Amino acid sequence: MLTQAILPVLRLADQSFAVPLSMVREILPVTQEGLQKVSGKATMVIRGEVLPVLPLAQMIGWGSSE
């Protein structure tokens, strides 16, 4: 169990979410200054590529969190 204690996890509303490391390609910090709106949707530019930013709450069906 020690391994689980030292791995980073996602936190949302005092709930922890574990993601298999095989599914994680990269972890990047998200700042308000780094976000841009494209067609009303939040995006970030990473290495010249515009990528969508999706709220975890919305992805798991916890309602709208925009």
SS3 6: helix
Asked whether the predicted pLDDT for residue 66 surpasses 80, the reply is: no
Q: What is the pLDDT of residues 6-59, one digit of tens each?
A: 566 666 677 777 777 777 788 888 899 999 999 999 999 999 999 999 887 788
Q: Is the pTM of this model over 0.85?
A: no
The type of residue at 38 is V
Q: What is the pLDDT of residues 19-34, one digit of tens each?
A: 777 777 888 888 999 9
- For residue 64, give both structure tokens: 């709208």
